[in-house]
């Protein structure tokens, strides 16, 4: 069975579009399983019907015409029950519905399996045979496996269809993703791509054909030189026969080979990288369809070669980052460092195929106040290039080539948003309290590029979280004590007189240092945060010493320890901090400087620490809840896994219960408590957190005004009532809807949705 399956998947991998995939499936299934009929019906959710999209064995004239309601016939039944239906004599089943034009008279045996992607029924795959018989169990499992394999292909092409289809009613058709930094924008897409990945190059036209041809010729020339050098370097290391591969590359590239074809393509008006991509895809497809496995493998060589030419064309190994005014930037993976490099003033919004709300790029986008959607439904983003689009980063919706009415509506929302944020900024009061005057302390989570002055004007009362990984990531070695001290001093002095919480190095998980590789199967459950630095006290001590030295003039340092899970870890940290403190204190005394002992706290993000909190708090000055990781570990859900995006929510009942338990423990021990995870930046969640008892919230600067506005419309008693009510609710959906209702009632939906 495995051989049959892989033959089918290999065949469909070469298909150019969805219709070809479906046609290949029905014909290959018939030949591999030796059955007389195979059909694929796909769901049309606009009309609640299944449409026959491909068949072998039934009347081909009704392809695209035959439609059955979701609750009609055997196809409808398979879709409704979401399980295979297997009948030796289909016509005897009460759901059987005879369709004359299908010409299915005489087919007795029926086996239908649903095609499901992420709980959504996309269609039904069925086989039929004249002879009344029971299909073998092997045949059933074969069909189930095939349906599961094709479900993701079909789901991708569903998204691609939205990109291509300019006529459809775009009011309801959009690509979905995770809203990671709220806001709305209308602009033109610009896809940026790694300069070494030919497959992600978008199709662009050019007016300057001669410049593009020159670009191509130079890149080819440079590639020839590189190949020559490589070949020479390999002399004596590999056999002459193996070395002939480089010659083969040179020939493929030569003026009569690919170069000529690419030139022809450029002459038709295409930008050189697009022209190269078109030609290379043609060659790759030709190699991939060859029967000889050796020749099939050569497709990889062609792709490598093209990647090299492309990199030479782009002249750099990173990205092509030029953006005109009104750009919506799109990339496969937008990283925090890419965002830091971008010409931000022209960028209206950012879209990344991968990433999630707590990825560092998302956190930075939020800090910069740029609307962003990440974790998009799988699609070929290169095809979005140059299209007009609407980004609704409140709802995580991307409307591609929307109709003018929708554009107009969103343009109104964009200007309303602008007015609203100007209004919020004008408030710029450092006072932050509930409607009835309970003070709420707001702090800032900072990354590089934040505006301290603005944050202070908006009422930030200090820094709630400074992630020290950023300066470590910007280097190619561990920064020295003095280098670190300089960075930390600037931050502490910038907030003189206010507390500044600086977290010790939290690498591992998804945060990597290029010069200190950690490779593990389960990085989020492995060596990260304090586990790494306790195993390397020399790294930890240098950082603590730098922090202490830097705090000498402002004396406002709070040290936060990430990922603490056990009491032993905390005690060891305390011992090392004491050791460093004694040393620095002595050094400074010689200069007549008195050093204040910093406050020591933990980022509470490992559930085991919550259950040991009563012991922890005796050895701590403060606790700061890191909901980003706490949710991940509590719900056993990777914070960056897009499939799990519905499970990873700060409104899960279990999350609320653990947050309540944390308050109770901290109140009992009178230890200072704050929340620094992304949850605190969500105005909807902030209401709930205050109602639960949190009085100190730390968030990105762009969220400060919105969160402040949200709780200033409620009295403390109202928020407490809301919290009490939602604590009794049993599902995430109910909790969220209750909170939304409360916001709507106060006329505050503009804080969480597009529009005011
Ligand atoms: C957290 O886990 O909530 C947190 C604040 O830290 P980070 O997002 O850097 O892991
Ligand atoms: Mg964390």
Residues 6 or more apart whose Cβ sits within 8 Å of residue 551: 488, 489, 492, 557, 595, 596, 598
pLDDT of residue 256: 73
The confidence band for 163, taking pLDDT boundaries of 50, 70 and 90, is: low
- Average pLDDT (154-183) is 70
3-class secondary structure per residue, 601-647: EEEECCHHHHHCHHHHHHHCCEEEECHHHHHHHHHCCCCCCHHHCCC
What is the Å distance from ligand 2's center to 587 Cα?
Answer: 33
The confidence band for 6, taking pLDDT boundaries of 50, 70 and 90, is: confident
What is the Å distance from ligand 2's center to 507 Cα?
Answer: 10
- Average pLDDT (686-712) is 93
Ligand nearest to the CA of 470: 1
pLDDT of residue 730: 97
Is the CB–ligand 1 distance for residue 627 below 6 Å? yes
**Is 30 an annotated catalytic residue?**
no
pLDDT of residue 255: 64
Ranked by mean pLDDT, the top range of 295-304, 366-375, 479-488 is 479-488
pLDDT of residue 170: 44
Q: From CA 12, how far away is CA 289, in angstroms rounded?
A: 11
Cα 703 to chain center, whole Å?
Answer: 20
What is the Å distance from ligand 2's center to 563 Cα?
Answer: 7
pLDDT of residue 173: 66
Ranked by mean pLDDT, the top range of 119-123, 205-209, 460-464, 715-719 is 715-719
pLDDT of residue 153: 81
Supply the residue whose CA is at minimum distance from atom 3 of ligand 1: 626
Ligand nearest to the CA of 626: 1
Is the CB–ligand 1 distance for residue 129 below 6 Å? no
Report whether pLDDT(23) > 60.
yes
- Average pLDDT (403-410) is 91
pLDDT of residue 697: 97
pLDDT of residue 715: 98
Q: From CA 532, how far away is CA 655, in angstroms rounded?
A: 27
Residues 6 or more apart whose Cβ sits within 8 Å of residue 519: none
Report whether pLDDT(671) > 90.
yes
Supply the residue whose CA is at minimum distance from atom 6 of ligand 1: 626
Is the CB–ligand 1 distance for residue 479 below 6 Å? no
- Average pLDDT (671-684) is 95
Query: Pick from 624, 620, 574, 622: which is nearest to 604 by CA?
Result: 624
Quote the tokens at residue 537.
Answer: 């006290």
pLDDT of residue 318: 42
What is the Å distance from ligand 2's center to 594 Cα?
Answer: 33
Report whether pLDDT(300) > 90.
no
Ligand 1 atom, smallest distance to 562 CA:
6
Query: Pick from 747, 750, 704, 756: which is nearest to 432 by CA?
Result: 704
- Average pLDDT (479-500) is 93
Ligand 1 atom, smallest distance to 676 CA:
5
Report whether pLDDT(303) > 80.
yes
Ligand nearest to the CA of 625: 1
Q: Where are the alpha helices (DSSP H) in 458-536?
A: 469-473, 481-494, 530-535
pLDDT of residue 224: 87
- Average pLDDT (406-410) is 92
Is the CB–ligand 1 distance for residue 84 below 6 Å? no
Q: What is the pLDDT of residues 728-739, one digit of tens each?
A: 999 999 999 999
pTM for this entry: 0.79
pLDDT of residue 343: 74
Ligand nearest to the CA of 447: 1
pLDDT of residue 316: 55
Is the CB–ligand 1 distance for residue 358 below 6 Å? yes
The confidence band for 555, taking pLDDT boundaries of 50, 70 and 90, is: very high
- Average pLDDT (329-341) is 77
> Which of 148-152, 185-189, 386-390, 733-737 has the least mean pLDDT?
148-152
Question: Exposure string (b/e) for 1-36, b if CB count within 10 Å is 16 or more?
Answer: eeebeeebbebbeebeebeebbbbbbbbbbebbebb
Supply the residue whose CA is at minimum distance from atom 7 of ligand 1: 628
The confidence band for 607, taking pLDDT boundaries of 50, 70 and 90, is: very high
> Which of 104-118, 653-667, 722-736 has the least mean pLDDT?
104-118
8 Å CB contact between 280 and 302: yes
Is the CB–ligand 1 distance for residue 377 below 6 Å? no
Q: Where are the alpha helices (DSSP H) in 117-239?
A: 137-164, 209-234
What mean pLDDT, rounded, does the chain reach? Answer: 88
What is the Å distance from ligand 1's center to 493 Cα?
Answer: 24
pLDDT of residue 614: 96
Report whether pLDDT(477) > 50.
yes
pLDDT of residue 319: 47
Instruction: Give the residue with greater pLDDT, 337 vs 744.
Output: 744
What is the Å distance from ligand 2's center to 286 Cα?
Answer: 48
DSSP 599: E
Q: From CA 548, how far away is CA 527, in angstroms rounded?
A: 26
> Which of 353-362, 437-446, 649-658 has the least mean pLDDT?
353-362
Query: Pick from 340, 347, 339, 341: which is nearest to 323 by CA?
Result: 347
Report whether pLDDT(169) > 50.
no
Residue tagged 């239908």 (tokens): 112
Q: Which of 379, 573, 666, 676 is catalytic?
A: 676
> Which of 235-249, 437-451, 457-471, 538-552 has the least mean pLDDT?
235-249
Report whether pLDDT(457) > 80.
no
Is the CB–ligand 1 distance for residue 605 below 6 Å? yes
Is the CB–ligand 1 distance for residue 676 below 6 Å? yes
DSSP 501: E
**Is 360 an annotated catalytic residue?**
yes
Q: Which of 283, 360, 573, 666 is catalytic?
A: 360
> Which of 81-95, 126-140, 708-722 has the least mean pLDDT?
126-140
Instruction: Give the residue with greater pLDDT, 327 vs 365.
Output: 327
Is the CB–ligand 1 distance for residue 677 below 6 Å? yes
The confidence band for 756, taking pLDDT boundaries of 50, 70 and 90, is: very low
Is the CB–ligand 1 distance for residue 629 below 6 Å? yes
Q: From CA 547, how far away is CA 533, in angstroms rounded?
A: 15
> Which of 162-166, 225-229, 562-566, 724-728 has the least mean pLDDT?
162-166
What is the Å distance from ligand 2's center to 565 Cα?
Answer: 12
pLDDT of residue 171: 46
pLDDT of residue 245: 72
The confidence band for 431, taking pLDDT boundaries of 50, 70 and 90, is: confident
pLDDT of residue 380: 81
pLDDT of residue 252: 80
Instruction: Give the residue with greater pLDDT, 121 vs 324.
Output: 121
Report whether pLDDT(404) > 80.
yes
8 Å CB contact between 303 and 286: no
Instruction: Give the residue with greater pLDDT, 573 vs 422.
Output: 573
């Amino acid at each position: 069975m495995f051989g049959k399956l892989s033959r089918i998947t290999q065949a469909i991998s070469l298909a150019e579009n969805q219709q070809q995939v479906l046609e290949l499936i029905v014909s290959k299934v018939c030949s591999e399983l030796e059955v007389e009929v195979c059909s694929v019906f796909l769901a049309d959710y606009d009309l609640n019907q299944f449409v026959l999209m491909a068949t072998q064995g039934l009347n081909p004239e009704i392809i695209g015409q035959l439609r059955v309601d979701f609750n009609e016939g055997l196809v409808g039944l398979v879709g409704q029950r979401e399980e295979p239906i297997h009948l030796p004599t289909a016509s005897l089943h009460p759901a059987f519905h005879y369709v004359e034009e299908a010409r299915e008279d005489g087919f007795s045996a029926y086996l239908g399996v649903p095609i499901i992607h992420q709980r959504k029924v996309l269609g039904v795959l069925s086989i039929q045979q004249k002879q009344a018989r029971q299909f073998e169990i092997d045949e059933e499992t074969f069909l189930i496996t095939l349906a599961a394999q094709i479900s993701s292909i079909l789901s991708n092409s569903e998204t691609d269809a939205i990109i291509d289809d300019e006529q459809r009613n775009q009011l309801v058709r959009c690509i979905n993703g995770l809203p990671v930094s709220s806001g709305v924008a209308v602009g033109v897409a610009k896809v940026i791509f790694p300069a070494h990945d030919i497959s992600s190059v978008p199709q662009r036209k050019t007016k300057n054909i001669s410049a593009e041809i020159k670009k191509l010729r130079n890149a080819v020339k440079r590639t020839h030189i590189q190949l020559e050098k490589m070949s020479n370097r390999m002399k004596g290391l590999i056999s002459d026969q193996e070395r002939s591969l480089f010659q083969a590359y040179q020939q493929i590239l030569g003026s009569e080979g690919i170069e000529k074809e690419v030139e022809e393509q450029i002459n038709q008006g295409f930008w050189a990288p697009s022209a190269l991509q078109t030609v290379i895809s043609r060659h790759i497809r030709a190699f991939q369809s060859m029967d000889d496995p050796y020749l099939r493998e050569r497709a990889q060589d062609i792709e490598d070669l093209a990647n090299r030419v492309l990199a030479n064309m782009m002249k750099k190994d990173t990205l092509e980052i030029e953006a005109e005014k009104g750009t919506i930037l799109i990339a496969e993976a937008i990283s925090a460092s890419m965002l830091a490099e971008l010409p931000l003033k022209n960028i209206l919004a950012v879209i990344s195929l991968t990433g999630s709300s707590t990825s560092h790029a998302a956190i930075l986008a939020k800090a910069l106040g740029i609307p962003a959607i990440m974790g998009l439904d799988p699609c070929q983003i290169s095809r979005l290039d140059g299209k007009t689009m609407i980004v609704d980063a409140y709802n995580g919706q991307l409307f591609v080539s929307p109709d003018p009415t929708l554009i107009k509506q969103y343009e109104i929302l964009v200007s309303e948003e602008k007015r609203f944020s100007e209004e919020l900024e004008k408030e710029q009061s450092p006072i932050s309290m509930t409607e009835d005057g309970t003070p709420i302390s707001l702090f800032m989570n900072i990354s590089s590029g934040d505006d301290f002055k603005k944050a202070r004007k908006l009422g930030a009362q200090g820094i709630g979280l400074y992630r020290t990984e950023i300066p470590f990531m910007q280097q190619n070695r561990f920064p020295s004590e003095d280098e670190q001290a300089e960075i930390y001093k600037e931050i502490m002095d910038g907030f003189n007189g206010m507390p500044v919480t600086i977290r010790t190095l939290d690498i591992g998980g998804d945060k990597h240092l290029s010069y200190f590789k950690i490779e593990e199967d389960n990085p989020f459950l492995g060596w990260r945060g304090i586990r790494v630095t306790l195993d390397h006290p020399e790294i930890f001590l240098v950082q603590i010493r730098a922090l202490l030295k830097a705090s000498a003039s402002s004396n406002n340092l709070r040290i936060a320890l990430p990922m603490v899970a056990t009491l032993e870890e905390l005690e060891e940290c305390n011992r090392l901090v004491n050791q460093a403190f004694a040393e620095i204190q002595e050094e400074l005394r010689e200069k007549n400087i008195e050093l204040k002992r910093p406050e020591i706290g933990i980022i509470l993000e490992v559930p085991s620490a919550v259950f040991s909190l009563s012991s922890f708090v005796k050895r701590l000055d403060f606790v700061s809840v890191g909901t980003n990781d706490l949710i991940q570990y509590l719900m056993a859900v990777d914070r960056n896994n897009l499939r799990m995006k519905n499970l990873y929510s700060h409104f899960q009942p279990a999350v609320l219960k653990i947050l309540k338990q944390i308050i109770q423990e901290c109140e009992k021990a009178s230890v200072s408590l704050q929340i620094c995870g992304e949850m605190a930046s969500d105005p909807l969640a902030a209401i709930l957190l205050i109602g639960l008892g949190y009085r100190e919230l730390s968030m990105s600067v762009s969220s400060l005004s919105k969160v402040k506005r949200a709780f200033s419309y409620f009295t403390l008693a109202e928020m407490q009532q809301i919290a009490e009510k939602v604590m009794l609710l049993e599902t995430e959906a109910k909790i969220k809807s209750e909170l939304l209702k409360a916001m709507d009632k106060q006329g505050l939906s503009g804080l969480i949705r597009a529009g005011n």
